[in-house]
Amino acid sequence: MKKFLLTLFISGACLAASAQLEGSKQVFESPQLKTEIAKHKVIAILPFNTKITYKKQPKNFSQEANREQEKTMSKSIQSSLFTFLLRKASNYSVTFQDVEKTNILLKKAGMLDKMDEFTKDEVAKALGVDAVLGGDFITEQTKSEAGAIASAVLFGGFGGKTGTGTLTLTLNDGNGDLLWRFFKTMNDNITTSTDDLVEHMMRKVSRNFPYAK
């Protein structure tokens, strides 16, 4: 009986943990999506617009340090997404520009870390690609004080299993038109790294990802 109750408890805990990862999902597809993506060959993945907030602001909180952490996470999510897509390249009808090349070209064009000052068609032209894949990630850390910062450092720019977040992916063609948008919320116990975050997100996106064969 004790073994049965223990098994039941563990099963319930696993289901609860899984449920905590799940949040609302919204997908938008332009009527021109299929027509336009058939013309695409090379896609660039942009640094993500990232925002880190705290439910309870840590002691000795530094706005400057927080901004630097947001920049680190921005490029970390970009790199993780590129790695994921590269691993599964045979599943997609396009190729993805190396993110190092993307960021160098953005820097040369004076766009890096200033993405909100440029239109998507300007960005695509500077990168020499057919479309740009970007997004936003907003997280609220629920760990208190130094624990949140320590976790953020340990987990490569992400505050561990102690926050909530919303993640948006957008695809704009070379004219700047929005072709596709994916939005998902994630509850407590979201993940421990940007690789895990992207892996979880892309499992949910897979059926709707525009370039999937």
What pTM value is reported for the model? 0.77
pLDDT tens for each residue of the chain, 213 residues long: 544 334 433 333 333 333 334 457 789 999 999 999 999 999 999 999 988 888 777 788 888 888 888 888 889 899 999 999 999 999 999 999 999 999 999 999 999 989 999 999 999 999 999 999 999 988 877 754 444 444 444 444 444 445 677 889 999 999 999 999 999 887 644 445 777 778 877 877 877 899 998
SS (H, E, C) 132-169: EEEEEEEEEECCCHHHHHHHHHHCCCCCCCCEEEEEEE
Give, rounded to a whole angstrom, the gap between the first and last alpha carbons of the chain: 50
